[in-house]
């Protein structure tokens, strides 16, 4: 994060924007009963390989792992959930006080990924974990909270995408079904997917490779493998969201990159109708999360259902800046004119007003400079350019005498001589 260079706030690394994002999330999350928690930056490597899954991409290729002075293998945290669950177990939080425990955290995470817009090796997450609440109400509560948080950040056009991985029986049945479908297509898949087929078949659905996507176009969907209780649970969440008027899309092929998930999973993505050029491009997921009912127990704690999310703060800042730029462009477009007329002396002011009226009568958008004859011409032209005006015409005694002027094309940065008659000007303004 950097102090704003120009005070415009248009830079996604602007420290004031970040401070504001963090303040907003503290207010929103604390209003929902979440308390801040500070977690270590490094944990034992085994926590992540067990917690996130040995075959997950994060564990396989993205961890920053090192040996400390005591010859222990440590890893810079790639995410916060495993550390939060470890702390929950180690401090016997569930045993010391029964009920629901809601924690939130913000800070740097580390993944050795190929950097690109919205994807960094050190990035900042805001996350929250809700320990102890069963599926259903707690999930809807979290999604409603996140919808409000996005609105409080000022994010527009965010789409909520949901799916359910079902219960253990649903997942086992689906793994078998997907494996049976994909196995005969193995040779046509990328090397990564060939490995996923053996170790983590659900991740096949997340491959961006066009050939793999084509191979899986007809793959079965997990919904076909849900047990009746799993299907009911997901239907209940969807019904509650509808009643709460929280819009969402069910994405039957949504999977998540970490292995601890059980049941409901979700992502908030930049809505697809926004053009890539203004938004996040390929890294369009702002936040992701879901239920992980077995992680605490797997780490040695009591059976504790849980749900959580994490949001990438760079992506949120990028999107807020893109939105701001888009808004500025729209405002500029609304203010832009076909022609700026600049009269340099009093007699020319009348000529400018007349010309403007005649041109407006035939549908041209014309601004007359009304600041008087002492206007700074350079500054006027710069402003016209900034507002997106297309042409400018300066009217002085020379022009009045000759009946001709120089029509400045502000976009193409050239001038053409023109007869100062409304018909000739109107025709010239029609030029692209």
Residues within the interface to ligand HAM (CB under 6 A): 79-81, 111, 113, 118-120, 123, 125, 127, 129, 257-258, 285-290, 292, 308-312, 314-315
CB of 62 to ligand HAM, least distance (A): 8
Neighbours of 155 (CB within 10 A): 17
Q: What is the dihedral of CA 186, 189, 190, 191, to 10 degrees?
A: 0
CA-to-CA distance for 91 and 47, rounded, in angstroms? Answer: 16
Residue for token pair 């780490």: 299
Q: Which is nearer to ligand HAM, 292 or 391 (CB)?
A: 292
Instruction: State the DSSP H helix or E strand holding residue 396, giving kind and residue range, or none if neither.
Output: none
Q: Which is nearer to ligand HAM, 304 or 310 (CB)?
A: 310
Q: Which two tokens stand for residue 9?
A: 């706030």
Q: Which is nearer to ligand HAM, 185 or 315 (CB)?
A: 315
CB of 222 to ligand HAM, least distance (A): 18
Tell me the sheet residues that pair with 269.
159, 285
Residue-by-residue DSSP string for 4-48: -SSSS--STTBHHHHHHHHHHHHHHHHHTT-EE----SEEEHHHH
Q: Which is nearer to ligand HAM, 112 or 381 (CB)?
A: 112
CA distances from 32 to 138, 142, 144, 268 (A): 11, 9, 10, 19
Let me know: does 343 contact 369? Beta carbons within 8 Å: yes
Q: Which is nearer to ligand HAM, 291 or 389 (CB)?
A: 291
CB of 291 to ligand HAM, least distance (A): 8
CB of 19 to ligand HAM, least distance (A): 19
CB of 206 to ligand HAM, least distance (A): 11
Q: Which is nearer to ligand HAM, 124 or 391 (CB)?
A: 124
Let me know: does 165 contact 338? Beta carbons within 8 Å: no
Q: Which is nearer to ligand HAM, 157 or 385 (CB)?
A: 157
CB of 231 to ligand HAM, least distance (A): 22
CB of 121 to ligand HAM, least distance (A): 7
Distance of CA 214 to the CA centre of its chain: 26
Please state the length of the chain: 432
Backbone φ and ψ of 122, nearest 5°: -115, 120
- Answer left, alpha or beta for residue 270, where phi above 0 means left and psi between -120 and 50 means alpha: beta
Q: Which is nearer to ligand HAM, 287 or 410 (CB)?
A: 287
CB of 312 to ligand HAM, least distance (A): 2
Q: Which is nearer to ligand HAM, 12 or 174 (CB)?
A: 12
CA-to-CA distance for 124 and 257, rounded, in angstroms? Answer: 18
CB of 318 to ligand HAM, least distance (A): 10
Let me know: does 369 contact 340? Beta carbons within 8 Å: yes
Degrees (nearest 5) of the Cα angle 195, 200, 205? 90
């Amino acid at each position: 994060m950097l102090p704003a260079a120009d005070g415009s706030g248009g830079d996604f690394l602007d420290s004031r924007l970040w401070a504001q994002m963090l303040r907003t999330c503290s207010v929103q999350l604390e209003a929902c009963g979440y308390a801040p928690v500070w977690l270590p930056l490094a944990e034992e490597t085994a926590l992540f390989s067990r917690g996130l899954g040995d075959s997950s991409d994060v564990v396989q290729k993205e961890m920053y792992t090192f040996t400390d002075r005591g010859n222990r293998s440590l890893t810079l945290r790639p995410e916060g959930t495993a550390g939060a669950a470890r702390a929950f177990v180690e401090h016997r939080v569930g045993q010391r006080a029964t009920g629901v425990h809601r924690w939130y955290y913000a800070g740097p995470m580390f993944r050795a990924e190929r950097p690109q817009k919205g994807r960094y090796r050190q990035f900042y997450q805001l996350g929250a974990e809700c320990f102890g609440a069963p599926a259903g109400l707690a999930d809807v509560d979290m999604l409603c909270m996140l919808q409000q948080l996005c609105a409080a950040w000022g994010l527009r056009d965010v789409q909520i995408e949901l799916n359910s991985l079902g219960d253990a029986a649903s997942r086992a049945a689906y793994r078998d079904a997907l494996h049976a479908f994909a196995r005969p297509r193995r040779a046509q898949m990328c090397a990564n997917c060939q490995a996923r087929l053996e170790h983590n078949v659900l991740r096949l659905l997340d491959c961006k490779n066009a050939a793999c996507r084509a191979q899986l176009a007809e793959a079965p969907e997990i919904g076909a493998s849900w047990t009746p209780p799993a299907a009911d649970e997901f239907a209940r969440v969807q019904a509650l969201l509808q009643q709460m008027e929280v819009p969402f899309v069910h994405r039957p092929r949504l999977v998540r990159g970490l292995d601890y998930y059980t049941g409901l999973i979700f992502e908030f993505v930049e809505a697809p109708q926004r053009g890539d050029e203004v938004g996040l491009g390929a890294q369009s997921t702002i936040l992701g999360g879901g239920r992980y009912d077995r992680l605490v127990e797997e780490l040695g704690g009591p059976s504790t259902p849980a749900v959580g999310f994490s949001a990438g703060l760079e992506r949120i800042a990028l999107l807020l800046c893109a939105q701001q730029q888009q808004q500025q462009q729209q405002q500029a477009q609304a203010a832009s004119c076909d022609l700026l007329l600049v009269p340099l002396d009093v007699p020319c002011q009348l000529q400018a007003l007349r010309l403007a009226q005649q041109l407006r009568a035939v549908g041209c958008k014309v601004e007359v400079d009304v600041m008087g004859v002492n206007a700074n011409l350079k500054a006027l032209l710069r402003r016209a350019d900034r507002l997106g005006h297309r042409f400018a015409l300066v009217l002085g005694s020379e022009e009045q005498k000759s009946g001709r002027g120089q029509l400045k094309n502000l976009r193409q940065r050239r001038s053409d001589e023109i007869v100062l008659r409304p018909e000739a000007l109107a025709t010239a303004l029609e030029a692209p």
